[in-house]
Amino acid sequence: MKPRILYTKPSITELETRYAADAAANGWGERCYEYLTRFEKGFAAHLGTKYAIATSSCTGALHLGMAGLGIGANDEVILADTNWIASAAPIVHLGATPVFVDILPDSWCLDPKHVERAITPRTRAILAVHLYGNLCDLDALLDIGKRHGLPVIEDAAEAIGSQHRGRRAGSIGAFGAFSFHGTKTLTTGEGGMFVTSDDTLFDRVLTLSNHGRSRGQVRQFWADAVGFKYKMSNLQAAMGCAQLERIEQLIARKRAILAGYRARLTSLPGVSLNPEPSHTVNGSWMPTAVFAPETGVTREQLQIAFAAENIDARVFFWPLSGLPMFEPKRQNQHAWDIPGRAINLPSYHDLTDDDLDRVAAVILRCV
């Protein structure tokens, strides 16, 4: 049998293991937040934001940020129907309602026209999720937000390395949230980051992130509000510091892998890969192939074909409104149609040219 090609795995070097070992051996007492603080400052500098707060997950970062914006019971937050449940879960946990709208057929991200139509007096925010490294139409969404007095939140869990008009994804909206899950371009195993340049929002979220203890509070074990516990550990942050030192290399390799797929498949009719409009840079976290309806290619056919070649292939996100806890919204045509004819492609950093050839060959045989 041919060697297995995984769909993803992290890039770990001696640097990560050395930093993690140092944190395990010495990162206690007065040094218990040393790597954590270093990681937060370094990540904020990389993005160009004023502040960053490391969290246990991107979900936690979204929860903190939305709570900091005051989102709660009877409020509505608009987001794309095509997303992972983690984007919607904090909205539900806060007692608000996620309002799912359709996606654009080319970027698979939030359709601004449907966003504007979905705004009601209860709408409190627009959640722009940058899917698979593809960027939302931020120009249109920010304009809608400005005209309606609504903050635009960037869920940049999958968009490390993506840029919009020279600014890094996650640094543009009211706040951004990132994921450092083991599948991501930069990983701490599990983990996330809240980022913002808003002084007031930062202070609120910092207090909420520390069990409700404000940073100016001098009384020990005194909480000023009921907060959360979404802190990242110093051990995880040590790995993050090492990954951050390699971030440009990690992003460049992801982009090279997508470029490799594009070179092999660009002449294939009826197959679209992650777009990159001229005013953007795609961080290329998850190369994805979407097959035109006329090809007749299905998700199930693709899964069978890849499995036969001992290659992992990850399915496109199901529409959130198709999950059992939400009301179906079949009018979200693209969000319901595209997943049945799309597949995520292997994209870990150590893929070889021969690996890319094997993956591309499966697609070529399917069309």
User: Which among 62, 67, 64 is positioned nearest to 79, based on CA atoms?
Assistant: 62
Report pLDDT for 267. Answer: 85
Q: Mean pLDDT by 10-residue block, N- to C-terminus, for the chain (367 residues)?
A: 93 98 97 97 98 98 98 98 98 98 98 98 98 98 98 98 98 98 97 98 97 90 93 97 98 98 94 97 98 97 97 96 98 98 97 98 94
The fold for domain 248-366 equals: Aspartate Aminotransferase, domain 1 (3.90.1150)
Report pLDDT for 215. Answer: 87
Report pLDDT for 308. Answer: 97
User: Does the global pTM surpass 0.75?
Assistant: yes
d(CA 71, CA 63) in angstroms, rounded, equals 10
Full DSSP string of 63-78: HHHHHHTT--TT-EEE
Report pLDDT for 216. Answer: 86
Residues 6+ apart with CB under 8 A from 212: 223, 224, 225, 226, 227
Residue ranges of domains in the chain: 14-102+110-245, 248-366
Judge whether 284 and 133 are in contact, CB under 8 Å: yes
d(CA 291, CA 342) in angstroms, rounded, equals 6
Quick one: tokens of 110?
């939030």
Buried b (16+ CB within 10 A) or exposed e, 171-200: bbbbbbbbbbbebbbbbbebbbbbbbbbee
User: Which among 92, 140, 82 is positioned nearest to 116, based on CA atoms?
Assistant: 140
Buried b (16+ CB within 10 A) or exposed e, 129-154: bbbbbbbbbbeebbebbeeeebbbbb
Say whether domain 14-102+110-245 belongs to CATH 3.40.640.10: yes
Report pLDDT for 189. Answer: 96
Report pLDDT for 273. Answer: 98
Report pLDDT for 209. Answer: 96
d(CA 363, CA 295) in angstroms, rounded, equals 12
Neighbours of 97 (CB within 10 A): 19
